[in-house]
């Protein structure tokens, strides 16, 4: 077990994080979505350390992060739709799946053997600072144990991975709070693989047509976040709950009533005002706090499936799925 260094988001911290990454080690750092566990995407040994630290299945591909769109363009073949989306949403919480370029450097292990690659340009200043210093693509899945609740703070990372990774750089709480939207641009029609930080209607407005049908959850996914069971707390999850059973934890949304709330062991409200942006930013941290209460089940109120509500519901449905 290694000693996990705690780094501040300052000049010495950025320099140390980049040096560790260049040497093939794993460093957690913030993006605008969630904290990512970074490693050199071109170094298979470094990537293997991510799978080991997270206990992540090696058939689950990783997203490569770049300091600029121009850097990402060198790793894949971007059709017109991919270029439109990159121009509209980068830097930001959008991942594009594109065919691998002949001279691409993202290693086979990071791509899970696929002939495609997931690419993204984050907007968080700490992430951009680190990417510029490393000068290489950095894969950075969420910095938590595989299948568990994603990390939105350095403290969350330490809860899950302390002693398993080289360092965590503390850049405060993340803004978006759910992972990036993933769009597959490997075929004639772009299709949604994972709802996320950019609502689907905004993507479709740029494309000028609807996204293709989303594939069902798979045991052999085309991109991250497609496993049937994912983002799961230790407690069981009960969705669309309108009442609370004795000893459950309760996760509320807005002002909607939940019967038997006095029976709850503990409760939290994602957004008292019913703001889906606020709810997304608080989702994973709220699940972690409720899970730490010791409740065996978390009862979750209905959340509208509009805008970021689609991404929130996606995460909750995977959290509630039967676990392997």
Domains and CATH numbers, the chain: 5-207 (3.90.870.10), 236-320 (3.40.50.11030)
Give the pTM: 0.85
- Omega cis (within 30) before 91: yes
Q: What is the mean pLDDT of residues 152-175?
A: 96
145 neighbors 162 (Cβ within 8 angstroms) = no
pLDDT digits (tens, 9 = 90+) for 237-262: 999 999 999 999 999 999 988 999 99
| Segment among 44-48, 53-57, 69-73, 159-163 with least mean pLDDT | 53-57
Helix (H) or strand (E) holding 118: strand 116-120
- DSSP letter for each residue of 122-191: ---HHHHHHHHHH-S-EE--BSSSTTBPPP-SHHHHHHHHTTTSSEEEE--S-SS-S--EEEE-SSSS-E
Q: Give residue 243's pLDDT.
A: 96
- pLDDT band of residue 55 (cuts 50, 70, 90) is confident
Which tokens hold the place of 180? 């990036």
Q: Give yes or no for a contact between 172 and 13, defined as CB atoms under 8 angstroms apart.
A: no
pLDDT in tens, 22-50: 999 999 999 999 999 999 999 999 998 99
Please say whether the beta carbons of 183 and 97 come within 8 A.
yes
């Amino acid at each position: 077990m290694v000693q996990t260094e705690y780094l501040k988001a300052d000049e010495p911290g950025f320099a140390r994080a980049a040096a560790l990454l260049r040497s093939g080690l794993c460093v957690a750092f913030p993006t605008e979505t969630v904290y990512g566990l970074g490693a050199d995407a071109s170094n298979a040994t470094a990537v293997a350390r991510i799978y080991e630290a997270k206990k992540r299945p090696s058939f689950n591909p990783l997203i490569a992060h770049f300091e600029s769109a121009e850097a990402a363009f060198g790793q894949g073949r971007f059709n017109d739709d991919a270029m439109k989306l990159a121009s509209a949403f980068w830097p930001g919480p959008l991942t594009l799946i594109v065919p691998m370029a002949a001279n691409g450097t993202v290693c086979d292990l990071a791509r899970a053997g696929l002939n495609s690659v997931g690419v993204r340009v984050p907007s968080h200043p700490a992430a951009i600072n680190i990417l510029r210093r490393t000068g290489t693509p950095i894969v950075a899945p969420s910095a938590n144990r595989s299948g568990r609740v994603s990390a939105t703070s350095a403290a969350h990372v330490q809860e899950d991975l302390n002693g398993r990774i080289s360092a965590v750089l503390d850049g405060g709480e993340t803004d978006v709070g759910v992972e990036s939207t993933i769009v597959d641009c490997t075929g004639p029609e772009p299709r949604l693989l994972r709802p996320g930080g950019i609502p689907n209607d905004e993507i479709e407005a740029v494309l000028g047509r609807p996204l293709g049908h989303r594939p069902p959850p798979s045991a052999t996914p085309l991109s991250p976040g497609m496993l049937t069971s994912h983002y799961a707390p230790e407690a069981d999850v009960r969705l669309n709950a309108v009442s609370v059973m004795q000893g459950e934890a309760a996760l509320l949304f807005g002002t909607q009533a939940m019967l038997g709330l006095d029976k709850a062991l503990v409760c939290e409200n994602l957004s008292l005002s019913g703001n889906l942006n606020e709810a997304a930013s608080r989702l994973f941290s709220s699940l972690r706090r409720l899970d730490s209460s010791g409740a065996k089940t978390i009862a979750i109120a209905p959340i509208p499936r509009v805008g970021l509500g689609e991404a929130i519901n996606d995460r909750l449905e995977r959290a509630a799925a039967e676990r392997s």
